[in-house]
Amino acid sequence: MLRRILFYLSLLLLPSAAIAGAVEDVQRLFAREMQTADLARVKLEVDRIIDPSIDVEAQLAGINRMAAEVQAMLPHNADAWAKVEVLRRYIYEPGPWNTQRAFAYDHDDPYGRDVRNKLLGDYLQDRRGNCITMPFLFIILGQRLGLEMAPALAPLHVLVKFTDDQGVMHNLEATSGAGRARDQHYRDLLPISDQALANGLYLAPLDAEQSMAVIAAVVLDGLMARGAYREAMAVADVLLENHPQFAYALVKKGTAAYRILEAEFYSKFPRSGDVPEDQRAELIWLQRVNRDAFQKAEALGWKALTR
């Protein structure tokens, strides 16, 4: 608890230049060679934008040790499904490989509203994860075992797309022991329209660039949490440049614009005619950003998820 209080105090005390630097940090993420990008390093570098005290190399070494431990548990000539089964056991079942502390779903914060709960190092430490940390750890370790895995999106959720040795793609639900789940399972539980599927918004495997945008969304969350709405809009633009169908970033951008409107205009001026002449262009621009972001998200098939 004390560690998290100190973390949020550090956010409040973070100088504005450091926040603005987050936009440049996110831009730099996409400057690397996408086809050879290591999702573990990407995730840890993103997390370090949120918490500069993170030692990327130390955490990366820990992940590599985990992958080596799983590799040592594999039977001889293990096929793809055998590797998945061992990886499931390593993560979700208590044993000497995880010091009898299996990884589990964090029912106290399943959506990662506490931004720190979306950091990979936090998941590795307390073994309680969510629909960001759990699938990405499974994918990161799976890829190190030579498995073909990629993230895919559902509303406010990430799942694992796994392709077996026969070339058949399967959904694995990392928040529930990495069991198999049909596409219809997600459609029964979440607002996923035919339009959203046709536009590749949900349930489609993400490429490296799209995956990076989803990972970097935690920076957007962090900026929104501390009220840095203009910087959040700028980060959303970077993510959308690299993943134009990322509805989550569109919605966050539209919401950030509304928060500024609320604070700088709607709470101060009862009528639009009361807005000073020299501020009206800003008012109109923010209203357009808010409207256009939500219209684009809805055109892709996004629907608000009531929780």
**Residue boundaries of the structural domains of the chain:** 16-300
In DSSP terms, 157 is beta-bridged to 154
User: Which residue type, as a one-letter code, is found at position 36?
Assistant: T
Backbone angles phi, psi at 96, to 5 degrees: -60, -25
pLDDT of residue 178: 97
Q: What is the pLDDT of residues 110-153, one digit of tens each?
A: 888 899 999 999 999 999 999 999 999 999 999 999 999 999 99
Top pLDDT among 18 and 198 is at 198
pLDDT of residue 19: 53
Cα 68 from chain centroid?
26
Instruction: Write out the two tokens for 178.
Output: 């990495």
92 vs 175: CA distance, rounded Å: 10
Give residue 252's pLDDT.
98
pLDDT tens-digit map of 28-47: 999 999 889 999 999 999 99
Question: In this predicted structure, what is the pLDDT of residue 111?
Answer: 82
DSSP annotation string for 243-272: -TT-HHHHHHHHHHHHHHHIIIIITT-SSG
**Tokens describing residue 33:** 């060679």
pTM as predicted: 0.90
On the question of pLDDT at 5 being above 50, the answer is no
pLDDT at 74: 97
Alpha-helical runs (H) found in 51-173: 56-73, 80-92, 120-126, 133-144
Quick count: other Cβ atoms within 10 Å of Cβ 103?
23
Bridge partners of residue 163, in order along the sequence: 148, 169
